[in-house]
Chain A
Amino acid sequence: MSTTEPNLSISNPHPEDTDVIQKIALVVACFGVLILLAAWANIALDASVFMPIAIISMIGGTTVYGARSYLKQPEGIKNNGVWHFSLTSRGAFAWAVGILLTGFYVLLYWFPGYVGFVQNGENQGLVALFDPLSMAIKGRPASQWFMYGTLYTIAILALGMKFIFKYRHSRYQLIRTISVMIAQLVFAYTIPEILAALNYNDVTTSAGEYVGYYDTDIKNVWPLDYDFFYSYHLDAMQEKAYQPFGMIYLVVGIGLFLIGTPILTYFIGKRWYCSWVCGCGGLAETAGDPFRHLSSKKLSAWKLERWLIHSVMVFVFVMTAVTLYGYFTGASSVFGLDIYSKFQKPYGFFIGAIFSGIIGVGFYPMLGNRVWCRFGCPMAGYMGIIQRFKSKFRITTNGGQCISCGNCSTYCEQGIDVRAYAQKGQNIVRASCVGCGVCSAVCPRGVLKLENGPEEKRYDLPPIIIGNESVKISE
Chain B
Amino acid sequence: MHNIVIIGNGISGITTARHIRKLSDHKITVISAETDHFFSRTALMYIYMGHMKYEHTKPYEDWFWKKNRIDLKRAFVEKVDTDGKTLHFSGGETMTYDKLVIATGSKPNKFGWPGQDLEGVQGLYSYQDLESMEANTKNISRAVIVGGGLIGIEMAEMLRSRNIPVTFLVREESFWDNVLPSGESQMINRHIKEHHIDLRLATELKEILSDENGRVKAVITGAGETIQCEFVGLTVGVSPNIEFLKGSKIETKRGVLVDPYLKTNIDNVYALGDCAEFLEPNGERKSIEQVWYTGRMMGEALARTLCDKPTKYEPGHWFNSAKFLDIEYQTYGWVWAKAKENEGDFYWEHKNGKICLRLRWDKSTGKLLGVNNLGFRLRHHAFDKWFKEGRTVDYALEHLKDANFDPELYKTYEAEIIAQFNRENGKNIQLKKKSWKRILDFVS
Contact = CB atoms under 8 A, between A and B. Distances in A.
Interface of A: 1, 3-4, 13-14, 16-17, 74-77, 79-85, 169-172, 175, 298-299, 396, 398-401, 403-407, 409-410, 419-420, 423, 437, 440-442, 444-446, 449-451, 453-454, 456-457, 460, 462, 464-471
B189 to A, nearest CB: 14
A80 to B, nearest CB: 4
Contact of B407 (A3, A423, A437): A437
Contact of B384 (A169, A171, A399, A453): A399
Contacts of A401: 293, 319, 321, 330, 380
Contacts of B47: 1
B43 A446 contact: no
Nearest to A464: B300
Nearest to A452: B408
Q: Which of B52, B134, B384 has the most CB of A within 10 A?
A: B52
Contacts of A13: 50
Contacts of A468: 297, 300-301, 314-316
A75 B293 contact: no
A171 B194 contact: no
Contacts of A441: 407
A16 B328 CA distance: 28
B191 A446 contact: no
Contacts of A16: 163
A437 B162 CA distance: 27
Given A4-B50, A468-B316, 16 more contacts: A79-B49, A81-B161, A83-B52, A171-B410, A172-B409, A398-B380, A401-B319, A403-B292, A403-B293, A406-B56, A406-B59, A419-B59, A445-B328, A446-B378, A456-B440, A470-B312
Contacts of B300: 464-465, 468, 470-471
B315 A467 contact: yes
30 contacts: A14-B162, A16-B163, A74-B194, A76-B326, A82-B51, A84-B50, A299-B61, A399-B380, A400-B296, A400-B319, A401-B293, A401-B319, A401-B330, A401-B380, A403-B42, A404-B40, A404-B59, A406-B46, A407-B51, A437-B407, A446-B321, A446-B405, A453-B440, A465-B296, A465-B297, A467-B315, A467-B319, A467-B384, A468-B314, A470-B311
B1 interface: no
Interface string B1-25: 0000000000100000000000000
Contacts of B61: 298-299
Interface in B371-416: 377-381, 384, 405-411
A405 B316 contact: no
A170 B377 CA distance: 13
Contacts of B301: 468, 470-471
B408 A471 contact: no
B42 A405 contact: yes
B380 A77 contact: no
B325 A76 contact: yes
A464 B440 CA distance: 17
Interface in B283-339: 292-293, 296-297, 300-301, 304, 311-317, 319, 321-323, 325-326, 328, 330
Contacts of B330: 401, 445-446
Leading 7 A-B pairs by shortest Cβ distance: A399-B380, A76-B326, A446-B377, A470-B301, A405-B43, A81-B50, A468-B297
A444 B321 CA distance: 9
B40 A406 contact: yes
B131 interface: yes
Contact of A450 (B135, B319, B408): B408
Contacts of B52: 83, 405-407, 410
B126 to A, nearest CB: 14
Contacts of B48: 1
A444 to B, nearest CB: 4
SS class, residues of chain B in contact with chain A:
mixed
Contact of A449 (B49, B134, B317, B377): B377
B410 to A, nearest CB: 5
B436 interface: yes
B56 A467 contact: no
Contacts of A471: 300-301, 304, 311
Interface of B: 11, 40, 42-43, 46-54, 56-59, 61, 130-131, 134-135, 161-163, 191, 194-195, 292-293, 296-297, 300-301, 304, 311-317, 319, 321-323, 325-326, 328, 330, 377-381, 384, 405-411, 436, 439-440, 443-444
B323 A444 contact: yes
Nearest to A467: B316
Contacts of B326: 74-77, 169
Looking at B11, B50, B54, B321, which has the most chain A CB atoms within 10 Å of its CB? B50
Contact of B379 (A85, A299, A399, A404): A399
A81 to B, nearest CB: 4
Contacts of B59: 404, 406, 419-420, 423
Contact of A14 (B131, B163, B406): B163
B43 A398 contact: no
A460 B311 contact: no
Nearest to A468: B297
A460 B444 CA distance: 10
B45 to A, nearest CB: 9
B125 to A, nearest CB: 15
Contacts of B436: 453-454
Contacts of B317: 467
A404 B10 CA distance: 12
A367 to B, nearest CB: 16
B161 to A, nearest CB: 4
Contacts of A450: 407-408
Contacts of A82: 50-51
A81 B304 CA distance: 42
Given A83-B53, A446-B377, A464-B300, A407 B314 contact: no
A56 to B, nearest CB: 31
Contacts of B381: 398-399, 466
A305 B234 CA distance: 46
Contacts of A3: 134-135
A471 B439 CA distance: 23
A300 B277 CA distance: 42
